[in-house]
Chains A and B, each alone.
Chain A
Amino acid sequence: MRNLLRFLIKNNFFILFLILEAISLVLIVNYNNFQKVKFLNASNRISGNLYNSYSSVYNYFQLTKINEQLSRDNATLRKRLQDVLLSDIQYGLKKKENEGLDYRFIPARVINNSVNKQYNYITLNKGSLDGIKPDMGIVGVDGVVGVVTNVSEHFSTGQSVLNKRWSLSAKVNDYFGSLAWEGIDYRYAKLNEIPFHVNLSIGDKVVTSSYSSIFPEGILVGTVKDFKHESGDNFYDITVELSSNFKSLSFVEVIYNVYGEEQTQLEKLNSDD
């Protein structure tokens, strides 16, 4: 016992080093299911407020670009409104294909964002007080951005598509696959599990599928940039050019499915069998 103590005291530097490394490793490995450690992420009060004030200064210099983006958004919405009005007039009340699915949108501002890590996160300036909960989808003007993971009262953080821990159910030409980022270039991601009998061409649109309760069906994810079929493989190797520009995100909308919880709970019954 005394020898052990003497050893510990003599090597205290090395042992402290090992302890600190062990703590860091525990943090790294457990982060995904470490929701209890709320203070250790960018949605906490101090870092959230700092990023908030920083981004208000930053956004001031981005005003032109943001205006452009918003007016573009307006234009698309107005066009969609016109389509809806037209079809209402022409066909009377259009039968809703997505009946039972009801999505609401909460606008938010991106106050922190990265593209250069392997696990990229975004911080939004809305939190639980605005009705945001974990597992809600985030979409930008140009398409899917990510999913909310942590929420505090005034802020929330989410994994963006550029996060190797997250993959997204997407479809191309009505075939379903899963979209995952490879951690190399922030403009491109890979679409897996598309069987090779599907006819593909460069420029095909990749949109969200109806299989997840996070996103409504048909939100743009990106376009097919390149596809290969390795011999002996059952699936295509598809490179997708992401439609959202992750380097210049400023305004996004958080989507929530009013009946999403009901759907997940119902689906859970099946997995319990």
Chain B
Amino acid sequence: MIREILHYFVMFVILVLVQVLLLNNIQFSGYVNPFLYVLFILLLPFSTPKVLLLILSFSLGLVVDIFGNTPGIHASACTFMGFLRPLVIRTITSRDSIEVDELPRVRHMGMGWFFRYSLILVAAHHLFLFFIEVFSFHGFIHTFLRSIFSIVFTLVLILISQFIIFRE
């Protein structure tokens, strides 16, 4: 149990560092900006209590906000994503119940499931994030395009990370 908590804590720190030091500096023509750090919310075990999930999502967003000078923006998007996660898992999982020792990973749940799972949650997070950042529907197409490009980039990074780092 302690080992597991430590494991997720290290993951939290590494993902935040990668996000603020590396990915926040990546941008192509001001459109594409990947947010890989949401991977943390995706990878939390199925058995995470829902309330803890929300609090973790909120704190993850808040930490990224503090480094990025965007107070509240990432926090609200991450909280939204954490809120949706249990609903999404319930909706897209065809099996009646998930085994106790299974985790939301490609090797446990299969590629198709993991892709759908990340696509829905990442899309929800990014759309929420970009629209809350602009805080208006003025220039809808521009904001929408920014989110779509970033969703694709984030998803590619998430899938790559699944095959390289979390292969085990």
User: Which residues of A pack against B, CB within 8 Å?
Assistant: 12-14, 16-17, 20-21, 23-29, 31, 34, 37, 39-42, 44, 47, 50-51, 54, 114-119, 121, 123, 157, 183-186
Contact = CB atoms under 8 A, between A and B. Distances in A.
A17 B76 CA distance: 9
Contact of A17 (B29, B33, B79): B79
Interface stretch (B97-105, B127-135, B155-163): B127-135
A121 B69 contact: yes
Interface string B3-38: 000000000000000000100110101100100000
Nearest to A113: B25
Contacts of A185: 29-30
A34 B65 CA distance: 15
Given A28-B135, A118-B133, 19 more contacts: A17-B82, A20-B55, A21-B79, A23-B75, A24-B72, A31-B71, A31-B72, A37-B71, A39-B66, A41-B69, A47-B67, A50-B67, A115-B27, A115-B30, A116-B30, A117-B68, A119-B70, A123-B69, A183-B134
B132 A28 contact: yes
Contact of B72 (A25, A115, A183, A186): A25
A184 B70 CA distance: 17
B122 interface: no
Contacts of A118: 133-134
B75 A24 contact: yes
Contacts of A115: 27, 30
Nearest to B25: A114
A251 B33 CA distance: 25
Contact of A186 (B30, B58, B79): B30
A56 to B, nearest CB: 13
Nearest to A42: B69
26 contacts: A12-B51, A17-B54, A20-B54, A20-B76, A20-B79, A21-B76, A21-B80, A23-B58, A24-B72, A24-B75, A25-B72, A28-B71, A28-B72, A28-B76, A34-B71, A39-B66, A40-B65, A50-B67, A114-B24, A114-B69, A116-B24, A116-B33, A118-B133, A118-B134, A184-B142, A185-B30
B140 to A, nearest CB: 13
B53 to A, nearest CB: 9
A10 B113 CA distance: 30
Contacts of B54: 13, 16-17, 20
Given A41-B66, A117-B70, A13 B79 contact: no
B29 A54 contact: no
A116 B54 CA distance: 27
Contacts of B55: 16, 20
Nearest to B57: A20
A17 B56 CA distance: 12
A51 B71 CA distance: 17
Closest 7 pairs between A and B when the two form their complex, measured CB to CB? A27-B72, A24-B76, A28-B72, A116-B27, A24-B72, A121-B69, A24-B75
Given A17-B54, A20-B54, A20-B79, A114 B71 contact: no
Contacts of B66: 39-42, 44, 47
A114 B30 CA distance: 10
B131 to A, nearest CB: 11
Nearest to B50: A13
B42 to A, nearest CB: 18
Contacts of B33: 116
Contacts of A116: 24, 27, 30, 33
Contacts of A51: 67
B153 interface: no
Contacts of B65: 27, 40
Nearest to A12: B51
